[in-house]
Structure 1
């Protein structure tokens, strides 16, 4: 039954792809993915009417903490369409026009869902070509983070957006589904002395007029809409790569990211030409909630990767890889999120292998495997078995709940398993074709399975193992055929740790030869039997408590909380207050909660100081974890 269904889906996919070649009837076929999978995180009905192009005119007010905007949309619609539906959240809609100048009063905002916001219904007739909406954002818009002078390196205010997963609707009325792609242009006015940047073709210097123009000529989904405004400098590496940063951060940032051009070259050699024109990186203030965000042409990155030795720049390789997996071929819904992230982790490790060698990539993969196994264990124990499947069911839930190691690391190991079955040469060709043939399109999990069966297994006469997709995609937990990865460097770390635990001799530890990943493995493998004396001894040698490497610092502080190593607590408080990256915050707060030595009042005292420095993406998760109710 499964194979019959997949064959049927394949022929439907082929027919629909053929139809989309005829642009005159594109509205009938432009959203073929929606015929297979409804996006329950958007009110939009793209098979009836959808955005084709967006033109923004926006003014940024730091004083009021709002964006005052006019958004004009070119739309395409079916002949029978009576309305177009936009996603909004906490926007003040001031006026709506059709065909640029005809104001209408018959639009309506319907419902008010805590997660989805409100649906903006705008009536259409046969003459409607454009929609124009005048609106203003809320000072508390979830996508926007307004930083004051004390929260930045430059001592000047700063603004950045985070639209993924469904937060774009809080700063632009939009059809906020990853399956709906559009081009855009924008004019943004900012205060004098500030530089504005977007996920588009960008300026490289501050304009004294404070007015900036942007163009994104390639189709993108709403979650890749991005804006940042601040006191920023630009450093150029080559014809397509550069880095933006606040002046006090620039020297460190430009040295750390000097291999950008090598990364782009390695990625392009693997899976085809880089199609986005430029690949620049914006180094944001510490409150940014993610490691990075793959906004096309301008990756947003956390300063927590600035370790001084390039040891954490695999994160940049990850965001670069999104230029193919995610930005180019996009998950149709957030239930298919692994199609973005699993592919990107696989691609990231291949980029790092090409630049730094296979052993380096294996260390990254083994760290991923360890984190994956731990998270799966916790999820199974918490009754979240369904969320350990690659194909998720997030209906009625915040799609951020899918941001787990399942999408990233289980997705990676599934693709690694496909590589094992097909051989690297066949698999590389398959992926190159996949990205090229589906460029600027969206993909469902079911569509990918069908594509894989046809163009990886059948085309290369490779036998598909029984239950491969059932076990990996639709099965809970981790399959029995997980790829096995070894690292000689990690084995050496384990041998050193074993000797050190017996002899307690710091001379056994290397002064500088180990990479970040080796030290992370050393700390993670530390047995529960160690105590404060062993931690004090290690700290005397390596100064882990005051480490400038955020990955090592976090692992060390987790160890310190578990063993009540008191010297970490002042530094822990500083780190929690000044760092907004959710990857670090969640395990630290969780471990504090679980500690028998920590009073919850202590945790809440820190959190109340820190919360204003966090983006909505971070504080929303931590509020839930701590049961914290902010004062209205």
Structure 2
């Protein structure tokens, strides 16, 4: 195994060698990697990283790793290019559970290094004495329990024949398999050479230079990748498995296991149209290709916006294209999150609030205002539920700019940054008008492309490019209140769906003893069905629950959103006949959005729910990714 050279000539040659097999629109890496600036805002210090980027910062990562499925670890080297301030003598990296074997300079000369005390959330600082080196090479391996990586047995895959590996780096998990400065404000370009076992294909969130891999002495194939644009390090992602590819359009396509490709490709038929709609709104898509990887069920999120290759849960494959708003969301991150990124996790809303707003605009452009309104209205309900769970309107975690001192950044990943952030942007749109707001957003993405952003920086940009000295407009919107104060401001825009008025009436009538609205249900969209089930009282007689379950087949629902809404209702009512469906749902997928709330609901049911939670979790916990496990562990004692 040899370290892939990161010189511009070597990267360009690798691109040219693989050019014939690279999908449409792939481009060779540039001669000089782009170096993104650090944020100069006063609120840009990342408390979740040991890095001292103003002294020594990583600008490029060059990985040469072998996937050891037997040992459940990545083994090899990471070469880091550094930008140093005058007089800099050392660089501080983030590391969690990594086994460091040696560190040298580019010529192979050993460098002194130390691993500091470990923090349960942050891991340990890896400090390297540079002796003038601007490139260091770290030989290491990840731990078998590294939180970013999930190693699946063949039985956990769709094909049941081959093992599978995937990563999930957000928020600060990539330090469990890559020794770098793991902070979203320290953007880095990167290249990789990944050796996978024969019969398995490696994909990453970058341009694929060798789609078919290169044979390796001793077995396996080496796959090479290059990301020539500086990205937040949590966006470096990998998957290895029995994967096939199908184009969806000129610059879009999907990877997944062969046995589920037909259904998956059909579900995602509109992806190319989504890219086109997004570009019409806020400017060109700047990442070359937009592909998706639909993963096994244990993937902890609905989707992850890894550049060029969104990772997605199979729970969106509903058979009717009704859950594709998730794809619109991850695509929108190509602008808000990937192009312009929160500099710290205190401003996670700058990624997610913008993206929820943008997602809804894509859905409106493709499927109409009624569809977009229903999605926004459901989000409003989710926001109020999240505010209640965060301690009500005075709860400190209901702020957009959140204090995460001494906490895992995952603690801030609730519906508040998503939905309150989107409501904030809709409120600005209402006050300035859509045409003016769209022009501002397009300019915002241009001005801050490939750069980190903070709340302070966004507010300054608003004042310069949107308010332009209009103090009355700024006061009317009350930006400071939105960003820094808890609760929901009184001027928050609530997009109300007219279609939901009829749905709510049907739910009220059924709860009062009426018959199940079979005819209406047949014509309803997924959003309307979710609204109906979610609007039913949390206290219903067992015969009413049985009636609605029988009428609509809720316990056997293949649509994950409807199934989740039903199971929440069933648990609230301690409805025993739904427990087998609940158990199948919780052991059949690991999406945190569904799993964590259901365990919370079960645990809240005391002597009825807690034994069920313990029994199911004993079986399902080993199947979940670390992201989901760590959340549910806080509930199930």
TM-score, structure 2 as length reference: 0.91
Which whole-Å CA distance do the structure 2 matches of 1:338 and 1:108 have between them?
A: 35
- Give the secondary structure class of the aligned counterpart of 2:635: helix
* 1:82-125 residue CA offsets vs partner (Å, 9 max, x unmatched): 10111000000001011241122x21111111111111111123
Among 260, 277, 286, which residue is 1:266 paired with? 277
Comparing 446-455 and 493-502, the one that deviates more: 493-502
Asked if 1:563 corresponds to 2:570, the answer is no
Deviation of the 1:529 alpha carbon: 4.5
Deviation of the 1:509 alpha carbon: 3.7
Aligned to 2:9: none
Aligned to 2:149: 144
Deviation of the 1:575 alpha carbon: 1.1
Residues 594-613 of structure 1: matches in 2 within 5 Å?
594-596=604-606, 598-613=608-623
* Structure 1 residue ranges (4+ consecutive) displaced by more than 6 angstroms after TM superposition: 459-462
Among 512, 515, 520, which residue is 1:510 paired with? 520
Deviation of the 1:374 alpha carbon: 1.4
**Matched-pair contact (CA < 8 Å) for 1:42–1:177:** yes
Asked if 1:549 corresponds to 2:568, the answer is no
Change over 3 Å in CA distance of 1:137–1:504 after alignment to 2? same
Residues 97-496 of structure 1: matches in 2 within 5 Å?
97-104=104-111, 106-125=112-131, 127-155=132-160, 156-202=162-208, 206-207=212-213, 209=215, 210-380=221-391, 385-458=395-468, 463-465=473-475, 468-496=478-506
Change over 3 Å in CA distance of 1:36–1:543 after alignment to 2? closer
**Matched-pair contact (CA < 8 Å) for 1:389–1:477:** yes
* 1:477-505 residue CA offsets vs partner (Å, 9 max, x unmatched): 11111113221211121222334445633
Deviation of the 1:428 alpha carbon: 0.1
Asked if 1:577 corresponds to 2:587, the answer is yes
Comparing 289-298 and 567-576, the one that deviates more: 567-576
Comparing 500-509 and 332-341, the one that deviates more: 500-509
Structure 1: gaps of 5 or more residues: 1-23, 628-632
Change over 3 Å in CA distance of 1:57–1:508 after alignment to 2? closer
**Matched-pair contact (CA < 8 Å) for 1:137–1:170:** yes
Deviation of the 1:451 alpha carbon: 0.6
Aligned to 2:13: none
- Give the secondary structure class of the aligned counterpart of 1:494: helix
Change over 3 Å in CA distance of 1:440–1:208 after alignment to 2? closer
Deviation of the 1:182 alpha carbon: 1.1
Change over 3 Å in CA distance of 1:476–1:174 after alignment to 2? same
* 1:493-541 residue CA offsets vs partner (Å, 9 max, x unmatched): 1222334445633355435311110001101111245221112111222
Which whole-Å CA distance do the structure 2 matches of 1:407 and 1:220 have between them?
A: 21
Deviation of the 1:329 alpha carbon: 0.4
Deviation of the 1:431 alpha carbon: 0.2
Which whole-Å CA distance do the structure 1 matches of 2:490 and 2:332 have between them?
A: 28
**Matched-pair contact (CA < 8 Å) for 2:295–2:314:** yes
Deviation of the 1:208 alpha carbon: 7.2
Deviation of the 1:461 alpha carbon: 8.9
Aligned to 2:101: 94
Aligned to 2:20: none
* 1:554-608 residue CA offsets vs partner (Å, 9 max, x unmatched): 1101111122222211111111112110000111001111125625233212101
Aligned to 2:53: 46
Change over 3 Å in CA distance of 1:510–1:205 after alignment to 2? farther
- Give the secondary structure class of the aligned counterpart of 2:474: coil
* 1:16-46 residue CA offsets vs partner (Å, 9 max, x unmatched): xxxxxxxx9x99x932336542111000010
Asked if 1:589 corresponds to 2:594, the answer is no
* 1:217-267 residue CA offsets vs partner (Å, 9 max, x unmatched): 111011101010000110101221000111121111101101000000000
**Matched-pair contact (CA < 8 Å) for 1:98–1:128:** yes
Which whole-Å CA distance do the structure 2 matches of 1:268 and 1:204 have between them?
A: 29
Residue correspondences, number: 599
Which whole-Å CA distance do the structure 2 matches of 1:371 and 1:110 have between them?
A: 41
**Matched-pair contact (CA < 8 Å) for 2:518–2:551:** no
Deviation of the 1:206 alpha carbon: 4.8
Aligned to 2:79: 72
- Give the secondary structure class of the aligned counterpart of 1:591: helix
Asked if 1:56 corresponds to 2:48, the answer is no
Asked if 1:621 corresponds to 2:631, the answer is yes
* 1:170-223 residue CA offsets vs partner (Å, 9 max, x unmatched): 000010110001111111001000010111013796547321110111110111
Deviation of the 1:70 alpha carbon: 0.6
Comparing 175-184 and 500-509, the one that deviates more: 500-509
Which whole-Å CA distance do the structure 2 matches of 1:483 and 1:384 have between them?
A: 19
**Matched-pair contact (CA < 8 Å) for 1:164–1:223:** yes
**Matched-pair contact (CA < 8 Å) for 2:356–2:422:** yes
Deviation of the 1:309 alpha carbon: 1.1
Which whole-Å CA distance do the structure 2 matches of 1:256 and 1:459 have between them?
A: 47
**Matched-pair contact (CA < 8 Å) for 1:311–1:516:** yes
Structure 2: gaps of 5 or more residues: 1-31, 216-220
Aligned to 2:218: none
Deviation of the 1:353 alpha carbon: 0.4
* 1:292-328 residue CA offsets vs partner (Å, 9 max, x unmatched): 0000000000001111111111011000000000100
Which whole-Å CA distance do the structure 1 matches of 2:354 and 2:86 have between them?
A: 38
Aligned to 1:18: none
Which whole-Å CA distance do the structure 2 matches of 1:241 and 1:365 have between them?
A: 27
Change over 3 Å in CA distance of 1:203–1:514 after alignment to 2? farther
Aligned residues: CA RMSD: 1.9
